[in-house]
Structures are given as structure tokens and as C-alpha cells.
Amino acid sequence: MSSPSMLKKALMTINKQEDISTKNYLLPNFTNGFPGFRESINTTTYTAKYAMVGKKKVMEGGNEEEEKNSSSVGKKKKKKGEKKAKRPRFAFQTRSQVDILDDGYRWRKYGQKAVKHNKFPRSYYRCTHQGCNVKKQVQRLSKDEGIVVTTYEGIHTHPTEKNSDNFEQILSQMRIYTRS
DNA sequence: CGGATTTGACCCGCGC
DNA sequence: GCGCGGGTCAAATCCG
């Protein structure tokens, strides 16, 4: 089963080995963020912030360090509207034949991009529910094409549409690569 | 016919 | 300032 510490470790591992993106990752409140985890982690809200792959500042530790919008950090006016607030993110790996994991939500693909050092493209999905701007990325690793990395960003503001029984499978497929 | 996917262009932050 | 790399848009297309 998956414990928060395992997820945490997985997250760190992923961040170290893969360059998934350029942002901080943090584990969202799973209870309302990721229904699939409801069964396995229904306790405390779990937040942890990590540095990303490259440099950038390292926000170690698991306290919600909310850097606040310090006045010095001149956030420019968001032209397009849209809150650019940092969103909870977390990633995990599964060993799967299919790229699209059925997690109970409906996703609309809105982009696909090739990333460097990877032969497989990365796909971008958005939750189709109106007003729910949760996104996820799916990418298969070139070093081991049996592995699919899924990165979620945001918290769903609505329940799942269909029951996510399949998610138990996904959970059971989760692998923590602490050692190769 | 309506919603999802495809796919190149566009955009934007960052590093040189 | 410019180019690169990653993320998003959106029109055309696909597909049930």
C-alpha cells in the first residue's frame, strides 16, 4: 500500500531522475485532490515542497512555506486573467502498457510536445469539467518505456464522474524507484 | 452533429 | 536581445 512517506519518496526520486518540469512539486491534499487516494490516505492533509531538478532554490522540508507574494516580487498584471497561483503538483510513475490511466476523470488532450532527451513525447491534458482547470502531463520514459510518468497539477473542484475502481490497479502499480 | 484529438504556430520565461 | 525549450492555443480534422 502507499503511505505518504512512500509518495514523498517517489516524488523526490522522480524529481531527481527525470526532469519533468521546472516547478516545485508538492503533494496536495489528497482527500479532495485525488479521489483515487482517498482509500489509502484519508488522514491528514499532506504538503511537501521540493526543489526541482536543476538549480532553482531548494525548498526543502514539508512545511507549507508559502512564499507569499512578497511585494518585491513584482507579479505583473495577469493579462489574460487567470490566477497564476501556484498549484499543487505531484508526480508518480506507473508501469503500464497504456499511457492514459483511468483515474475517474475525463481529460481532454490539448497539446503534445517532444522533450529533449526523450524519444517519447509528452502529452498535456486538461480536466473537461467546467471551471475545473486541473491539468496533467503524461510521459513515457525512453530509458524504460514500460514506465509512464503522470504529473497532476491542481485540485479538482468536483467529484469524479464515474467510479474509479480502476484506480486500485493504478495504486497497486505504483513503483518507488529508490534503487535501480 | 458535437465533442475530442491533432498539430504547427505562438507565447513566454530563462540563460547565455 | 536572442534563441531555446517547454507549455498552450486553436483551427482543422477525426470519430462516435
Copy the grid coordinates of residue A122. Answer: 509528452
What A108-113 contacts at long range (C-beta under 8 Å, 24+ apart), as own/partner pairs, is none
Q: Which of A107, A81, A89 is closest to A155 using CA atoms?
A: A89
In whole angstroms, give the CA distance from residue A176 to residue A6.
7
Taking the C1' atom of B14, which residue's CA lies nearest? Answer: A22
Q: Is A100 exposed, middle or buried (0-12, 13-18, 19+ CB in 10 A)?
A: middle
What are the pLDDT tens digits along chain A (180 aa)? 334 444 444 444 444 333 333 233 333 333 333 333 332 222 222 222 222 222 222 222 222 223 333 333 333 333 333 334 455 566 666 666 566 666 677 889 999 998 888 888 899 999 888 777 788 888 887 667 777 778 777 777 776 655 545 544 545 444 433 222
Q: Shortest CA–C1' contact from A139: which nucleotide?
A: C6
Query: In this complex, which protein residues place their C-beta within 7 A of any atom belonging to strand C?
Result: A 19-22, 110-116, 122, 124, 135, 137
Q: Which nucleotides of B are covered by protein (CB under 7 A)?
A: 3-9, 12-15
What pTM does this model have? 0.59
